[in-house]
Amino acid sequence: MNPSPVSTQWIDIAPGFAGCLALPPAGHGPGLLLWQEIFGVNAHIRAVAEQYALDGFVVLAPDTFWRQAPRVSLGYEGDDRQRALALMKAYGTDDALADIAAATAVLRARPETQGHALGSLGYCMGGRLAYLTAASTDITAAVAYYGGGIQGMLDRAAGVRAALQFHYAGIDDHIPPEAVQQVREALPGAEVHVYAGAHHGFNCWARSAYHAPSASLAHGRALAFLAERLAFGR
The catalytic site residues sit at: 124, 172, 200
- Sheet bearing 17-23, strands edge to edge: 7-14, 17-23, 58-62, 31-35, 118-123, 141-145, 163-171, 191-199
Counted residue by residue, the chain has a size of: 234
| DSSP state letter for 3 | P
Q: Which residues contact 117 (CB under 8 A, 6 or more apart)?
A: 30, 31, 139, 140, 141, 229, 230, 231, 234
CA–CA gap between residue 116 and residue 149 (Å, rounded): 30
Cβ atoms of residues 142 and 166 within 8 Å: no
Q: Which residues contact 79 (CB under 8 A, 6 or more apart)?
A: none
Element (H, E) at 193: strand 191-199
Nearest to 161 by CA among 229, 98, 231: 229
| DSSP state letter for 181 | H
